[in-house]
Amino acid sequence: MSRVYNFSAGPAVLPEEVLREAADEMLDYKGCGMSVMEMSHRSKVFDDIIKEAEADIRTLMNIPDNYKVLFLQGGASQQFAAIPMNLMKNKKAGYIITGQWAKKAYQEAKIYGEAVELASSADETFSYIPDCSDLPITDDMDYVYICENNTIYGTKFKTLPNTKGKDLVADVSSCFLSEPVDVSKYAIIYGGVQKNVGPAGMVIVIIREDLIRDDVLPGTPTMLKYKTQADNDSLYNTPPCYDIYICGKVFKWLLKNGGLSAMKELNEKKAKILYDYLDSSKLFKGTVRKEDRSLMNVPFVTGNEELDAKFVKEATAAGFVNLKGHRTVGGMRASIYNAMPIEGVEKLVEFMKKFEEENA
């Protein structure tokens, strides 16, 4: 068996230890004679799995007691609708457009009310985070929305926007559990798990309890009401059981490895190796304004499309896979999530140096 270095933006690399453990338990989970895939979501065994997963993510993120943790389906994209449906009391919200995912959330919100563009970095292909210190936020806005880490463009909010007292809703899909966060600064913090946490098929929504209510927009489907999910502890219907189980294992792996502050240190170290090389290279260059660079998604280009394609091809052959940039940006992108070992980044940089020499 040989595993590659997988730089995919998502679904993405998972900790090998977690995969091995899951493989060991595949046929017989802890002596119950069946796989977690095969058991009832109402069984005692599964109840322990989901409760432990929730307790562990609460510990990891230091989630205050007045927040609910929901394990839901529909991916992050389903939340683009669920958020306005549940939160738009005044039918108005502000959106900061820092990339394609923020834009999709903004467009979806427009179906349900007035979504106002507060700031945007579209003018420079989303290569920076706009100044969010004094946004045109009005009193009647129900919330302010951001995509905290922009997977495609490789930017990250290093400071949260000044929301002028309004609730902040953040999509953290591609920076989930990559560093400590102060949950109390958010009304909702949510992310699809398939980048930094687990297999595709689940979104985790951490929501302040006062936002869980009955008076949602008329026509909100039962399944999309946070109240339905919260009242039933994410077990209103059959949840993504296997996903919850694997995410639970990843939470334990994170706790064992020092939690989110240790993860942040390691992620900074990994990103620095790559960015330092990009800054010194005569062939490759990063595409993002330095102060807004993501620790998770690192886009770069040679400036020559043919050379980009040659690099991706040769890198793939050498075992560094999924380095092709998003189709809307081109070039390359290395996603270096929690589970990417530091050796993966060191070896990638070695490979890039060799490629630079050969193509000078």
Looking at the annotation, which residues are catalytic? 101, 171, 195
Report the site for ligand PMP in 177-216 (rule: CB under 6 A). Answer: 192
Helix (H) or strand (E) holding 51: helix 44-61
Q: How many helices (H) and strands (E) does the chain have?
A: 9, 14
Q: Which is nearer to ligand PMP, 86 or 297 (CB)?
A: 297
Q: Is 341 in the site for ligand PMP (CB under 6 A)?
A: no
Least distance in angstroms from the C-beta of 107 to ligand PMP: 13
Query: Which of 11, 25, 45, 75 lies at the binding interface for ligand PMP (CB under 6 A)?
Result: 75
Nearer to ligand PMP, 10 or 325 (CB): 10
Q: What angle do CA 349, 318, 18 make, to 5 degrees?
A: 80
Q: Closest approach of Cβ 337 to ligand PMP, in Å? A: 11
Rule CB under 6 A: is residue 77 a binding residue for ligand PMP?
yes
Secondary element (H or E) of residue 177: none
Annotated binding site: 42, 76-77, 101, 151, 171, 194, 237-238
As a whole number of angstroms, the distance between CA 104 and CA 127 comes to 17
Name the residue nearer to ligand PMP (CB basis): 54 or 148.
148
Sorted by sequence, the CB contacts under 8 Å of residue 19 that are 6+ apart come out as: none
* 14 contacts 246 by C-beta, under 8 angstroms: yes
185-213: buried (b, 16+ CB within 10 Å) or exposed (e) per residue?
A: ebbbbbbbbbbbbbbebbbbbbbbeebbe
Q: Does 171 bind ligand PMP (CB under 6 A)?
A: yes
Collapse the DSSP code of 178 into the 3-class scheme (helix H, G, I; strand E, B; otherwise coil) and give the result: coil
Q: Rounded to an integer, what distance in angstroms lies between the CA atom of residue 120 and that of residue 146?
A: 11
Distance in angstroms (rounded) separating the CA atoms of residues 228 and 237: 10
Report the residue from 7, 67, 101, 337 that binds ligand PMP according to the rule CB under 6 A.
101
In sign, the C-alpha dihedral spanning 210, 211, 217, 218 is negative
- Asked if 299 interacts with ligand PMP (CB under 6 A), we say no
Smallest distance, ligand PMP to C-beta of residue 151, A: 3
Nearer to ligand PMP, 97 or 352 (CB): 97
Q: Does the footprint of ligand PMP cover residue 10 (CB under 6 A)? A: yes
Cis peptide before 161 (omega within 30 of 0): no
Q: Does 292 bind ligand PMP (CB under 6 A)?
A: no
Count of residues engaged in binding ligand PMP, rule: CB under 6 A: 11
Taking CB under 6 A as the binding criterion, the range among 12-20, 69-77, 245-253, 287-295 that sits at the site for ligand PMP is 69-77
Q: Is 76 in the site for ligand PMP (CB under 6 A)?
A: yes
Give the range of 31-39, 45-53, 73-81, 275-283 binding ligand PMP by CB under 6 A. 73-81
Q: Does position 335 bind ligand PMP by CB under 6 A?
A: no
Q: In terms of CB distance, is 54 or 171 closer to ligand PMP?
A: 171
The least distance separating ligand PMP from the CB of residue 201, rounded to whole angstroms, comes to 8
Closer CB to ligand PMP, residue 39 or residue 99? 99
Q: Is residue 94 close enough to count as binding ligand PMP by CB under 6 A?
A: no
Contacts of 353 (CB under 8 A, 6+ apart): 277
- Per DSSP bridges, beta strands 92-97 and 114-120 are parallel
Beta carbon of residue 269, minimum distance to ligand PMP (angstroms, whole number): 23
User: If binding is defined by CB under 6 A, does position 143 make contact with ligand PMP?
Assistant: no
Please name the helix (run of DSSP H) or strand (run of DSSP E) that holds residue 227, with its range, or none: helix 226-231
Tell the residue number behind the tokens 């309890």, with chain if given.
209
For 118, phi then psi, to 5°, come to -85, -35
| Binding of ligand PMP by 174 (CB under 6 A) | yes
Q: Which helix (H) or strand (E) holds 285?
A: strand 285-286
3-state DSSP assignment of residue 200: coil
Instruction: Work out whether 106 is an interface residue with ligand PMP (CB under 6 A).
Output: no
Q: Is 339 an interacting residue with respect to ligand PMP (CB under 6 A)?
A: no
Q: Which residues bind ligand PMP (CB under 6 A)?
A: 10, 75-77, 101, 147, 151, 171, 173-174, 192
